[in-house]
Structures are given as C-alpha cells and as structure tokens.
Amino acid sequence: MRDMTQPILSVTGLERRYGARIGCTDVGFDLYPGEVLGIVGESGSGKSTLLSCLAGHQGVDAGSVTYDGRDVLAMAETERRRLARTEWAYVHQHARDGLRMSVSAGANVGERLMATGHRHYGEIRAAAVDWLGRVEIAEDRIDDRPTAFSGGMQQRLQIARNLVTGPRLVFMDEPTGGLDVSVQARLLDLLRGLVRDMGLSVIIVTHDLAVVRLLADRLMVMKSGRVVEQGLTDQVLDDPQHAYTQLLVSSVLQV
C-alpha cells in the first residue's frame, strides 16, 4: 500500500522565463495520491507552460519539483523519460500530438508496453483490446489507424495509450478542447471513472470552468504567469477571493 499522506508531486518556487518575459513564476503546490488538480486561466496565463515544465518537456529557471521523493529536475534524462513512459502519462490537447497516426490503434496502445519490455504479441494485443473496450472503442477497430477515427475517438485512444501501463500521475492539457459538448461529457465521465478506479493523481490544464467543476478536487487560478488563488474547486468557483477569479467566474456564460 502506498503512503497516501505524502505528496506524490511537490512543487516549490517554480519559475520559467523566456528572456525578460515570464512564462510562470513562484508556483508551488503539493499534489497527493488520488487528487485531481485543475489549473485554470486565460490563454497566455502560463498554465500550459507550467504543465510542460512539470512534465519535463522544457527546462525551468528556478524552483524544485519532487516526484515520489525524487528530484525531477536533477534526474538524468534516461530516468525521466523512463518515468514518462511508465508512471507518468501526458494527454495532449490535440490527439495527433500524442498518437502515432501512421500505425494502428492496437499498436498505439501497445507501444508503451513494448517500450517497457513486453515481448509477447498475444498479451500485448489482449491488453490493447481490453483498453480499447475501457475507452469505449469497438474491438473491430483495433487494426484501423487513428486517422480513420473521429476527434472524440482519437482522444479516447490517446487516453488508452497513456493509461495502459497503469501510471500514477497524469498530465492533461485541455483534454476536452476542440470536442463537441456531447463528446466532451462522455470523455469527462470516462476520465472520472478511470481517475476513481485507478486512483490516479491528475493535473489538468483547461480554460473551461465547467470541466474542472466536474473533474477537479482542487483548483489553481493563474494570471500572467502567477498563481493568484488556489483552493477547493467549489470554494474557488462559488466564493472566489481574488479580483481576477471573480472576473473569470462571472464571465462564464450561463446555459
């Protein structure tokens, strides 16, 4: 049993600059096992920069990131990339960025298994069938390429491809962006079930407050590269303290 009282990811004083311009600065938080942290803010607020820094896709200028007691920033690239394909997962906004479009759905799901040393075709294929089922893609599509899939299916395939190795920490960048609302709802429901059943810790970046309301336990609001407010999701949305959050919440169109 894993220690649930220790944060799985601990971030302090994180800063990323582009010359004189601030990507993000002074970001700090603890993420505990099983927690879903939403990061919201408008375009250019630094939320995507923060996510890619945390996932090691770009360097940072200051601060520390500790994963499961290990210093991520000081880690050798070999180890970080090993983490990235085993215990971490990264769901891109555009499924094309996270999928191999030229190989079949089955190979897309199986790749992480093969990358971690699985060498039994039958077992890899069985795992792919199982995961396609979990993300509600029919088994007979297993040999089709993702180019033949709809946007929602591509996104679900990307999720299956990422979760097949049973990761502990999932980074999501606008996972429902660009999808129809009905497809969005289905995806959110799927994600929620997976988060609960697999005990995933998730950091989800989005500008959609409805998405975080339904998915995130906790919310971090960013503006101009800084965290202006953080707290329990419904508290931040129902009783926002910072001027920017109040503006953000009051700007949402009510349906």
Report the DSSP pairing between strands 201-206 and 36-40.
parallel
- Angle, CA 104 vertex, CA 99 and CA 107 arms, to 5°: 75
Among 65, 91, 107, 135, binds another protein (CB under 8 A): 107
160 touches 107 (CB < 8 A): no
**Per CB under 8 A, 116 contacts another protein:** yes
Asked if 242 is part of the footprint of another protein (rule: CB under 8 A), the reply reads: yes
Give 120's contacts (C-beta < 8 A, 6+ positions apart): none
Site string for another protein, 170-209 (x = CB under 8 A): ------------x--xx-xx--x---x-------------
Q: At closest approach, how far in Å is the CB of 214 from another protein?
A: 5
Q: Which of 2, 57, 70, 120 binds another protein (CB under 8 A)?
A: 120
Per CB under 8 A, the list member of 100, 130, 148, 166 interacting with another protein is 100
Number of chain residues interacting with another protein (CB under 8 A): 51
Long-range CB contacts for residues 74-79, cutoff 8 Å, separation at least 24: none
Q: Are the C-beta atoms of residues 71 and 156 closer than 8 Å to each other?
A: no
Give min distance, CB of 219 to another protein, in A. 9
Give the span between the Cα atoms of 69 and 140, in whole angstroms.
Answer: 42
Contact call for residues 153 and 138 (beta carbons, < 8 A): no
Smallest gap from Cβ 77 to another protein, in A, equals 7
How far apart, in Å, are the Cα atoms of 76 and each of 70, 79, 117? 11, 5, 20
- The least distance separating another protein from the CB of residue 62, rounded to whole angstroms, comes to 25
218 touching another protein, by CB under 8 A: yes
Under rule CB under 8 A, residue 141 binds another protein:
no
Residue 28 interacts with another protein (CB under 8 A): yes or no: no
Q: Residue 21 Cβ, how far from another protein at the closest point, in Å?
A: 26
Could you give the CA distance from residue 58 to residue 180 in angstroms, rounded to a whole number? 31
Q: Which of 32, 141, 151, 207 binds another protein (CB under 8 A)?
A: 32
Out of 85, 96, 134, 207, name the contact with another protein by CB under 8 A: 85
Which segments of the chain are extended strands (E)? 9-18, 21-31, 36-40, 62-67, 70-71, 88-91, 169-173, 201-206, 218-223, 226-232
Helix, strand, coil distribution of the chain in percent, nearest 5: 40, 25, 35
Judged by beta carbon, residue 19 or residue 117, the one nearer another protein is 117
Nearer to another protein, 17 or 151 (CB): 151
Residues that bind another protein (CB under 8 A): 32, 35, 77-78, 81, 85, 100, 102-104, 106-107, 110-116, 119-122, 124-125, 142-143, 182, 185-186, 188-189, 192, 196, 213-214, 217-218, 231-235, 238-239, 241-243, 246-247, 250
